Amino acid sequence: MADDLQSVEAALETLLDGVSPLPGETVPCDRAAGRVLAASIAARLDVPPFDNSAMDGYALRAEDAGRVLPVSQRIAAGQASAPLESGSCARIFTGGAIPSGADCVVMQERVEIRDDGVWIPGDIPSGDNVRRRGRDVRAGSELLPTGTRLEAAALGQLAGQGVTEVEVRRRPRIALLSTGDEVISPGEPLASGQIYNSNRPMLKRLLERFGADVVHVASVPDDFATTCSMLAEAAEIADVVVTTGGVSVGEEDHVKRALKQLGQLDLWRLAMRPGKPLALGRLSGAHGEARFIGLPGNPVSGYVGAWLFLRPLIGELLDCPALKQLPRIHARSEFATRTQARRHYMRVALTFDAEGPRATAFADQNSAVLSSCIAANALAVVPAYSELREGDTVECLWLVEA
Ligand SMILES: Nc1nc2c(c(=O)[nH]1)N[C@H]1C(S)=C(S)[C@@H](COP(=O)(O)OP(=O)(O)OC[C@H]3O[C@@H](n4cnc5c(N)ncnc54)[C@H](O)[C@@H]3O)O[C@H]1N2
Ligand code: MOO
């Protein structure tokens, strides 16, 4: 690799090597949104639990169709039904229990009410408009596999089983440290040479979207001894320690030296743009080892680094397949570019029309220009030492949380 830069693949392998899923914990279902199942869940009920009507209408035996049938009972949703008297039909409503003996439902728009009953058309097949017991879920089958992120439909399925609590992975605990004497917090007055900390809220939000918990944030001054003590403190409480800034080559970049003193630096400097000085390592903490990711200070480098490295790391800790890899999409490039030694992860807006996906790049791809991330919903991956022309196909990583 040119200039001793490491590949993104090697960095991912190093980062994920030896990472095991966090333990499970039991939480109430109404607080489980976004959490990841730590064990698969077997269905304990058939859903629906009984044969029921898909329509408002009349339940009957299909063989009785094509004549006038007296109405022998009325079944609203939520009521128990009696066996259907022979040669009769039952008034029934959507969700009502099909009476035993009946095998089909005719919708009310198709019948005629007569003095002596209801005229039913002759072409009603057996099974019509009946939602069979267990059609959605069979008791004993796997309802949700381990590693499922509990989003809307999965939460609905759990409730459909009458389940009130689930075992989910503990959320990864993240410490987020911002280095740099020039970086101050919103609310403080901005002196000459200072900038506001945009990385912190940006990364906090991304980490939360990936399913982690940011348990500690701190600002680290450009001083070696303080960097060491603050990293040590973070490693005591976090599974993953993330820093921003201070990983390049300047005299004020203390993070790598502190990491070497407190743990180990596994890998540094990647053949990617943005994010070249990214550093990976480990720190020893109270509960064993904390993983360390040193993101470069430039906001776009942090943003891209979070999608490429923090998301899969959190995916491993949560053992959630959907988080481990970003979906890949081939798109028509609406731009032209050329790369040198570093693979370029360009911020693009993916749009979809009849011709297929198109990738439009933000004009300024500098790693300090966070505006490029606002409208970007994907990263176009332009290989090192390559030329991309408008109209070429480019591989894009879709920026979805899971
Ligand atoms: N001589 C060299 N200089 C630099 C190299 C190099 O290879 N040789 N690499 C450049 C690249 S590429 C990057 S990326 C940056 C990354 O440097 P650091 O990780 O050490 O980051 P800092 O120098 O601390 O900060 C870079 C930049 O980002 C601003 N920053 C920092 N933290 C925040 C924050 N929380 N919110 C908003 N902005 C932040 C900081 O003020 C700097 O402007 O190094 C290049 N230099
Ligand atoms: O890696 Mo730096 O992020 O190119 O600016």
Q: Are residues 294 and 335 in the same domain?
A: no
Which is it for the CA torsion 58, 59, 63, 69, positive or negative? negative
> pLDDT of the chain along its 402 residues, tens only?
446 899 999 999 999 999 999 999 999 999 999 999 999 999 999 999 999 999 999 999 999 999 999 999 999 999 999 999 999 999 999 999 999 999 999 999 999 999 999 999 999 999 999 999 999 999 999 999 999 999 999 999 999 999 999 999 999 999 999 999 999 999 999 999 999 999 999 999 999 999 999 999 999 999 999 999 999 999 999 999 999 999 888 777 799 999 999 999 999 999 999 999 999 999 998 778 999 999 999 999 999 999 999 999 999 999 999 999 999 999 999 999 999 999 999 999 999 999 999 999 999 999 999 999 999 999 999 999 999 999 999 999 999 988
Counting from 1 in the atom list of ligand 2, the atom nearest the Cα of 274 is: 3
What is the chain's Cα-based Rg?
30
Integer Cα distance of 378 and 360 in angstroms = 10
- ipTM computed for the complex: 0.97
Q: Are residues 219 and 242 in the same domain?
A: yes
Question: Whole domain around residue 160: which residue ranges?
Answer: 24-46+135-169
Name the nearest CA neighbour of 241 among 286, 294, 200: 294
372 touches ligand 2 (CB under 6 Å):
no
Residue that is last in its domain, among 72, 102, 131: 131
CATH number at residue 123: 2.170.190.11
Task: List, in order, residues 6 or more apart from 184 with CB less than 8 Å away.
Answer: 190, 194, 195, 196, 197, 219
pTM score, whole prediction? 0.94
- Tokens representing 272 are 């990617």
Q: Are residues 263 and 352 in the same domain?
A: no
What's at 16, amino acid-wise? L
Per the structure, the count of domains in the chain is: 4
Q: Are residues 247 and 272 in the same domain?
A: yes
Integer Cα distance of 250 and 246 in angstroms = 8
Q: What is the DSSP string of 325-340?
A: S--EEEEEESS-EE--
Q: Residue with structure tokens 């800034």?
A: 245
Q: Are residues 313 and 185 in the same domain?
A: yes
Q: Are residues 159 and 248 in the same domain?
A: no
Q: Is 402 helix (H, G, I), strand (E, B) or coil?
A: coil
Q: Are residues 203 and 94 in the same domain?
A: no
275 touches ligand 2 (CB under 6 Å):
yes
Q: CA angle at residue 260 from 258 to 264, to 5 degrees?
A: 130
Beta bridge mates, 338: 387
- Tokens representing 374 are 């606002």
Q: Which of 298, 301, 370, 371 to mutate to test the pocket of ligand 1 (most atoms within 8 A of CB)?
A: 298
Q: Are residues 181 and 80 in the same domain?
A: no
Left if phi > 0, otherwise alpha if psi is -120 to 50, otherwise beta: which for 4? Answer: left
Which ligand sits nearest to residue 301's alpha carbon? 2
Q: Is 50 helix (H, G, I), strand (E, B) or coil?
A: coil
Q: What is the DSSP letter of 82?
A: P
